[in-house]
Amino acid sequence: MPLSIVTALVRNLTTVPAAVLRSRVAKDAEVPALRHENAVLRRQIARVRYEPADRIWLAVLSRLIPRERRRQVFAVTPTTLPARHRRFVARKWTHPQRSRPGRPSTAPTVKQLILRLTRENHAWSHRRIQGELARPGYPIAPSTVWEILRAAGIAPAPQRSGPPRREFLTAQAHGILAADFLHLDTLSLKRLYALVLIEHDTRRIHLAGVTAQWTVQQARNLAMALDRRMDSLRFLLRDRDSRYTSAFDAVFEADDVEVLLSPPRAPKANAICERAVGTLRREVLDRVLIYNEAHSVKVLTEYIQHYNQHRPHQSRQQLSPDSAEPPAPAIVADLQNHRIRREPILGGLINQYHHAA
């Protein structure tokens, strides 16, 4: 028996000796008063809520009251127990009903996985996605996949739009070379132009040259420098600058490289090269005074060497463009046993750090 019920019974039993020791007149007067108070409370309360201790206490007192008087004294009628028993029986043999008939709904994690596969593979149909889910252990009917895609507003595979530009460029990165002109002013306010090219897959930067007036010969020199890479390059992405001439495009078209023009006033179409040009300005050109063409070539060449051989890139897991090694495991070096050596670049404008030998 719970401790609360025992406590309530003991508290109620202690009131019995006090009631017995009272005078008979006081008891006779108290009984009508309690009956009247009980009748008033019954008129105000539709249903009385009894605790388990209250039920036990009333059951004990019912043994002292004649049977014909119990209906007037107690609110519990003889039909209470059979009605309560019927509710217990109904509760035992009534099975809980589902909110919806039929098979249970698909788990939210599986729905999210289906939408992810659709988003990452634009050409996959609902049957192809159903087959891919069966491999990691998610058996599901093709019709269920189709219903999930239809509820998400995704059209069938042949009617979907193609991959976005970013995904297309990522898939074709190994064969794309992007170009952009970079202008700089010398101390004598002479305007110079530098042609910068970047490989999308390795983020390696190439400097075709710096001159006051661009010539096709410099494009030929760059094509000769990229002789090993020209076989794998398929596209040259550039803007519509007037300094690009038909002879410039002919140098790359001779090596079966297709020239792609970005839309007008759309720098994001050539975002990788634009970001590389911004890096050159922020880290070098905005912090160095250029004397002449020879000085600009020296400065840019030294920085591009640092860029290709040392500067980490997030898109390559913090590897430099020329690094072909896999990323090293994340092990914290003991700086007490390993000294870090600083190597200044461009007279200390930029620093490189290595383990001291």
> What is the rounded (10 degree) CA torsion for 56, 60, 63, 69?
-60
The sheet that has 235-238: what strands, in order across it?
Answer: 205-211, 191-199, 176-185, 235-238, 258-261
Tokens of 82: 């059979």
Confidence of residue 346 (pLDDT cuts 50, 70, 90): confident
Residue 145 counted as domain residue: yes
Task: Name the residue with tokens 């309560």.
Answer: 84
Tell me what percent of the residues of the chain surpass a pLDDT of 90. 7
Antiparallel, parallel or unpaired: β 350-355 and 340-345? antiparallel
- Provide the terminal-to-terminal Cα distance of the chain, rounded to the nearest Å: 79
The pLDDT of residue 301: 92
Region of 20 (left: φ > 0; alpha: ψ -120 to 50; beta: rest) is alpha
Q: Which of 282, 300, 316 is the last residue of a domain?
A: 316
What one-character DSSP code corresponds to residue 183? E
- Entry pTM: 0.53
Cα–Cα distance for residue pair 194/183, rounded to 1 Å: 6
Per the DSSP assignment, residues forming a β-bridge with 181 are: 195
The string of pLDDT tens digits covering residues 227-278 is 666 677 788 888 888 888 888 888 888 888 888 898 888 888 888 889 999 9
180, 260 in Cβ contact below 8 A?
A: no
334 occurs within a structural domain:
no
Q: Are residues 293 and 225 in the same domain?
A: yes
pLDDT digits (tens, 9 = 90+) for 194-234: 988 898 888 889 888 888 776 677 777 777 777 666 677 78
**pLDDT value at 160 more than 80:** no
Could you tell me the pLDDT band of residue 150, with boundaries at 50, 70 and 90?
Answer: confident
Residue 327 falls inside a structural domain = no
Q: Which two tokens stand for residue 180?
A: 């952009």
List the structure tokens of 51. Answer: 């605790």
With CA atoms as reference, report the closest residue to 123 among 86, 168, 187: 168
Q: Are residues 155 and 208 in the same domain?
A: no
Q: Residue 235 in 3-state DSSP?
A: strand
Closest CA relative to residue 261, chosen from 246, 281, 275, 251: 246
Q: What is the rounded average pLDDT of the residues 286-294?
A: 90
Is residue 102 a contact partner of residue 130, using CB atoms and an 8 Å limit?
no
Residues 6 or more apart in contact with residue 287 via CB below 8 angstroms? 349
Shared-domain flag, residues 16 and 113? no
Hey, what amino acid is at 267? P
Cβ density class 231-249: b for 16+ within 10 Å, e for less: eebebbbbbeeeebeeebb
- Regarding whether 152 and 183 lie in a shared domain, the answer is no
> Which contacts of 43-52 are long-range, i.e. CB under 8 A and separated by 24 or more positions?
48/75, 50/76, 51/8, 52/2, 52/5
Residue 332 pLDDT > 60? no
Helices (H), 160-215: 165-171
**Residue-wise pLDDT tens digits, 9-39:** 666 666 666 555 556 666 666 776 777 677 7
Greater model confidence, 119 or 336: 119
The H or E element spanning position 115 is helix 108-120
> Whole domain around residue 23: which residue ranges?
3-91
Q: Which of 199, 195, 177 is nearest to 258 (CA)?
A: 177
Give me the number of domains the chain comprises.
Answer: 3
Domain match, 77 and 25 both: yes
- Indicate if 190 and 264 belong to the same structural domain: yes
Measuring CA to CA, which residue among 216, 210, 292 is closest to residue 249?
A: 216
Residues 6+ apart with CB under 8 A from 328: none
Say yes or no: 260 and 147 in one domain.
Answer: no
Q: CA-CA distance, 59 to 318, in Å (whole number)?
A: 81
Q: Read off the CATH number of the domain in which 179 is found.
A: 3.30.420.10
In this structure, are 293 and 185 located in the same domain? yes
pLDDT of the residue at 302: 93
pLDDT in tens, 98-149: 556 667 778 888 888 888 888 777 777 788 888 888 777 778 888 888 888 8
Cβ-contact 257, 233 below 8 angstroms: yes
